[in-house]
């Protein structure tokens, strides 16, 4: 009898392939790899994009009130497409920014962070064989999400122009070639993904650049998925322009936002989409059949945060005024630290990321010819293991075909406490001294 059971259990072992075909080629993930490396080796982590300072007190207090208050129903499910107080205030807030009346129930949907908002967009709007234009470098999940929906990503790069007079490069020096961009639109194009301010470069697209993109969207009748999670993090008096506010764009644009970036609370995972009902109704179908519902207490607290910000809009006490001021200072510190050691920074106009050129450090981490792994990836791994400083290789934000064209840069996150940025500066200074001393 025992032998019989043994042979049954051997037979029960699965041998058929288990992975769904749509996952092919999407199994590797930069964050899984680099978050683990940073956790193991880093003394100073400027890798993954999250603040190491707390969210504002008013937001934490709102959360505590929601958690401990009289309304115990805040511990239960709320409306599937967004907690009513949150969709109402988001409709009011974005209605004001866009200069149009928004219906909280049909023009706004709350998601589990901007990640799920993106996922809903691709699943709801991209069909088998549809092409989706992605501007490189890009937030890496766009590519696998398009592929999982059966779509075909089509890449177009921002091309760097050398700055004049030995000046440091700015993210504004990375631009689309209008003819190259136009050549990517075809009969099969369904959508373009725009991310301004852009992760990883920190580029804030100008009105002229947005008008170029908008003109092509209208001409070819395609959708725009506009990832604006860094909308409040814009520096040097620059403006964040919403492409949905341009001629002919509201009807074809989905705006994506994130309370994680807006209120420095990335762990809360509250995000949203804003757009016309004609598009959002299909996102709701994906949402109701997958996630269905997002954490109620976090939504309640974010609603109160937006209520406060609506009252203080444009005033010095507004968090949306204070946060970029503080981050601009942090950006400048990191720019100085990197410039001083010859790791040339590209000055970002927005976001909390900064890309730096590692060419001068090549002697420390020699190139391995014919290696499959881009140089910057090996460099970033070496740096965290040997110097304790974590950053992300820029090639992670490029498609496979283009990775090796941009493999001499790494991305740092500067949404960090002053002490963290000082510690990074100490590591860089020490490294430079070791390099120059015999
Ligand atoms: N879009 C961009 C450009 C991002 O950088 C991020 C987070 N790194 C997201 C979307 C996802 O945001 P969330 O944490 O709200 O899911």
Q: What is the CATH number of the domain that holds 157?
A: 3.40.640.10
The residue whose two tokens read 């700055």 is 163
Question: Is residue 195 lining ligand 1, measured as CB closer than 6 Å?
Answer: yes
> Which residue range is the domain that position 46 belongs to?
27-55+319-436
Residues 274 and 356 in one domain: no
* Closest Cα to atom 15 of ligand 1: 113
User: What's the burial of 339, exposed, middle or buried (CB within 10 Å: 0-12/13-18/19+)?
Assistant: middle
User: Could you tell me the distance, in angstroms and rounded to a whole number, from the CA of residue 360 to the centre of ligand 1?
Assistant: 31
Question: Is residue 141 lining ligand 1, measured as CB closer than 6 Å?
Answer: no
Residues 83 and 169 in one domain: yes
Residues of the chain below pLDDT 70: 1-11, 438
CA distance 378 to 389: 14
Residues 306 and 170 in one domain: yes
Closest atom of ligand 1 relative to the 270 alpha carbon = 15
Structural domain contains residue 8: no
CA distance 27 to 23: 7
CB 222 within 8 A of CB 192: yes
- Boundary of a domain, candidates 312, 339, 356: 312
Residues 298 and 425 in one domain: no
Helix, strand, coil: what percent of the chain each, to 5?
Answer: 50, 15, 35
Question: Is residue 271 lining ligand 1, measured as CB closer than 6 Å?
Answer: yes
Question: Any bridge partners for residue 389, and if so which?
Answer: 44
CA distance 353 to 333: 13
CB 253 within 8 A of CB 227: no
- Boundary of a domain, candidates 289, 312, 335: 312
Closest atom of ligand 1 relative to the 117 alpha carbon = 16
Residues 251 and 237 in one domain: yes
Phi, psi angles (nearest 5°) of residue 164:
-85, 160
Question: Is residue 137 lining ligand 1, measured as CB closer than 6 Å?
Answer: no
Structural domain contains residue 19: no
Residues 157 and 227 in one domain: yes
Q: What is the pLDDT of residue 31?
A: 87
Residues 286 and 165 in one domain: yes
Sorted by sequence, the CB contacts under 8 Å of residue 69 that are 6+ apart come out as none
Closest atom of ligand 1 relative to the 115 alpha carbon = 16
Q: Which residues of 372-401 are buried (b: 16+ CB within 10 A; e: fewer)?
A: eebbbbbbbbebbeebbbbbbbbbbbbbee
Question: Is residue 351 lining ligand 1, measured as CB closer than 6 Å?
Answer: no
User: Could you tell me the distance, in angstroms and rounded to a whole number, from the CA of residue 138 to the centre of ligand 1?
Assistant: 11
Site to substitute for ligand 1 among 137, 197, 231, 261, most atoms within 8 A of C-beta: 261
Question: Any bridge partners for residue 226, and if so which?
Answer: 194, 255
CA distance 160 to 155: 16
Classified as helix, coil or strand, 17 is coil
Question: Any bridge partners for residue 111, and if so which?
Answer: 271
- Tokens found for residue 277: 């009902």
* Closest Cα to atom 5 of ligand 1: 199
Site to substitute for ligand 1 among 194, 260, 355, 413, most atoms within 8 A of C-beta: 260
User: Could you tell me the distance, in angstroms and rounded to a whole number, from the CA of residue 164 to the centre of ligand 1?
Assistant: 33
Sorted by sequence, the CB contacts under 8 Å of residue 141 that are 6+ apart come out as 115, 118
**CA dist 183 → 51, 86, 154, 218 (Å):** 39, 41, 11, 15
CB 156 within 8 A of CB 176: yes
Closest atom of ligand 1 relative to the 271 alpha carbon = 15
Q: What is the pLDDT of residue 1?
A: 57
Classified as helix, coil or strand, 45 is strand
CB 257 within 8 A of CB 271: yes
Residues 300 and 413 in one domain: no
The candidate with the shortest Cα–Cα distance to 350, out of 254, 265, 233, is 233
- Boundary of a domain, candidates 283, 312, 341: 312
User: Could you tell me the distance, in angstroms and rounded to a whole number, from the CA of residue 362 to the centre of ligand 1?
Assistant: 31
Residues 280 and 325 in one domain: no
User: Could you tell me the distance, in angstroms and rounded to a whole number, from the CA of residue 430 to the centre of ligand 1?
Assistant: 33
The residue whose two tokens read 């956790």 is 39
* DSSP-assigned letter for residue 234: B
CA distance 53 to 268: 15
């Amino acid at each position: 009898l025992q032998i019989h059971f043994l042979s049954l259990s051997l037979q029960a072992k699965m041998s058929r392939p288990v992975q769904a075909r749509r996952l092919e080629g999407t199994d590797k993930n930069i964050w899984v790899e680099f978050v683990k490396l940073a956790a193991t080796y880093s003394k100073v982590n400027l890798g993954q994009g999250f603040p190491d300072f707390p969210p504002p007190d008013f937001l934490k207090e709102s959360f505590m009130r929601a958690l401990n208050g009289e309304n115990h129903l805040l511990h239960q499910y709320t409306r599937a497409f967004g907690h009513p107080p949150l969709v109402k205030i988001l409709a009011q807030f974005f209605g004001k920014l866009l200069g149009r009346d928004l219906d909280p129930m049909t023009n706004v949907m709350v998601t589990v962070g901007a990640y799920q908002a993106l996922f809903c967009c691709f699943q709801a709007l991209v069909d088998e064989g549809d092409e989706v234009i992605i501007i490189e470098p890009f937030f890496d999940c766009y590519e696998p999400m398009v592929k999982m929906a059966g779509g075909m990503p089509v890449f177009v790069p921002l091309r760097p122009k050398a700055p004049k007079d030995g000046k440091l490069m700015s993210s504004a020096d990375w631009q689309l070639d209008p003819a190259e961009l136009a050549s990517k639109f075809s009969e099969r194009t369904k959508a373009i993904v725009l991310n301004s301010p852009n992760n990883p470069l920190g580029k804030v697209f100008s009105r002229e650049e947005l008008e170029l993109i908008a003109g092509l969207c209208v001409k070819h009748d395609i959708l725009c998925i506009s990832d604006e999670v860094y909308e409040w993090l814009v520096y040097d008096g620059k403006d964040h322009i919403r492409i949905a506010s341009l001629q002919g764009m509201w009807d074809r644009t989905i705006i994506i936002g994130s309370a994680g970036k807006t209120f420095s609370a990335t762990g809360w995972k509250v995000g949203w989409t804003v757009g016309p009902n004609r598009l959002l109704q299909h996102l709701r179908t994906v949402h109701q059949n997958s996630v269905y519902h997002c954490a109620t207490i976090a939504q309640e607290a974010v609603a109160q945060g937006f209520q406060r910000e609506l009252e203080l809009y444009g005033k010095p006490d507004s968090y949306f005024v204070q946060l970029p001021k503080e981050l601009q200072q942090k950006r400048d510190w990191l720019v100085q630290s990197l410039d001083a050691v010859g790791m040339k920074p590209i000055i970002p106009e927005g976001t909390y990321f900064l890309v730096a050129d590692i060419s001068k450090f090549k002697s420390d981490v020699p190139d391995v010819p014919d290696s499959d792994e881009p140089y910057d990836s090996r460099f970033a791994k070496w740096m965290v293991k040997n110097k304790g400083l974590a950053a992300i290789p820029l090639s992670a934000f490029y498609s496979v075909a283009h990775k090796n064209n941009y493999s001499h840069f790494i991305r740092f996150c500067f949404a960090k406490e002053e002490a963290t940025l000082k510690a990074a500066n100490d590591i860089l200074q020490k490294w430079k001294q070791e390099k120059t001393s015999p």
